[in-house]
Structure 1
Amino acid sequence: MVSKAGEETQGAVAQATALGVVIQLPSPLDATLREWRRRYGGQAAAAIAPHITLVSGSTTDWDSAVRHVRKVAAHMPVFRVGIRGTGTFRPISPVVFMNVIEGAQACGRLHDALVDGPLRHELSYGYHPHLTIAHEVEDSIMDLAQEELSGESMTFPVDSIGLFGTDSAGAWSLREELELGGPTS
């Protein structure tokens, strides 16, 4: 229960809210990657903007989580990401992705800082920065994506991170774009 003052009363259970922090890709790279996602993952995959997930989970204290994400962003320097070639999580998970080569350590530092605080949660697997191309589609399509995109590469600067939550319809939506502000490394 919540009182008029907004304070939780004894016995109340806080409701979890979905939250994600991602690196979005700049134009025109996002259009290219969205087309690859459509080609190999279908229209549903293309509807989700290409991104590199930093953290995904839920929180029972949205305001505290947002303050934490803002603080992490403010202390992280701008960096470059280089994506090259493909990889897969098969047979453990039916995913084909593009490898984050340049900037993988910076993504890891961001991830570690984000989960050190109110976003702390257990991971089933270690953090591995990547950009998903195909997920839960036929093996033949994942094989094709992995082969055809194996020679592709692109680089871009990362000067912000996106904070996502679910909207009233349950769809992921950008809540806030947070500029990185730490000293350049």
Structure 2
Amino acid sequence: MTIPIPAPHGAFLQARRASFGDPMAHAIPSHITLLPPTEVRGSDLAAIVEHLRDVARTESPFPIRLRGSGTFRPVSPVVFVALAEGIGGCERVQAKVLSGPLSRPLPFPYHPHVTIAHHLPDDVMDQAFKELAGYSADFEAWGFSLYEHGPDGVWRPEYDFVFGADDSGVTGPGRQPVV
């Protein structure tokens, strides 16, 4: 479950991730994670989709401001673009998503961010940190997406959940409506 980074910012950050040699750059669209990869049974999907629709229905769009870079090293080999605004909105939505049928403990405290380098040599991680230290982008979080991990290793959005959507269904840009 993620908040997608919209164009042109998402494509730019994905290209930067690829430029650092991150092998996952083309398999994972740029995003802010709400729930890390979670395996679910197909029979549970309908309840999960209904839960996510309920979460989205109670929320409103909120601004996201990306500013500069950060890292989780030495705890985790990740360099990321930081959020300067929208942290509280992400935390609120994440807490709601991580309830009901998706309730589970997480291995780390939640820290919204956009990964730009992961499991790369230290000098490359340092380069990514430096090159994106001055990065900035502003956009509105319109909702969130449920992704599926394909057999080819690529994560693709399957459903979009639009904040504040009514009972007529949840739709998103070019995805399956959730009705």
SS at match of 1:125: coil
Aligned to 1:32: 12
Structure 1 residues 71 and 80: alpha-carbon distance in aligned structure 2, compared to 1, 3 A threshold: same
Change (3 A) 1:68 1:137: same
Mapping of residues 1-185 of structure 1, within 5 Å: 21-56=1-36, 57-60=38-41, 61-167=44-150, 169=152, 171-181=154-164
Q: 1:171 to 1:147 in 2, by over 3 A?
A: closer
Deviations, residues 54-102 of structure 1 (Å, cap 9, x unaligned): 0122333111111101110111110010111111111111000011120
> Structure 1 stretches of 5 or more lacking a match?
1-20
CA distance in 2, matches of 1:170, 1:97: 22
| TM score, norm. by length of structure 1 | 0.82
Q: CA RMSD in A?
A: 1.6
Task: Look up the match of 2:171.
Answer: none
Alignment partners' CA distance in 1, 2:129 and 2:73 = 11
The amino acid that maps onto 2:34 is: L
Percentage of pairs with the same residue: 38
Report the AA paired with residue 138 of structure 2.
T
- In structure 2, the CA distance between the partners of 1:69 and 1:140, relative to structure 1 (3 Å rule), is same
What is the CA–CA distance in structure 2 between the aligned matches of 1:166 and 1:94, rounded to whole Å?
A: 22
> With structure 2 as the length reference, what TM-score do the two structures score?
0.85
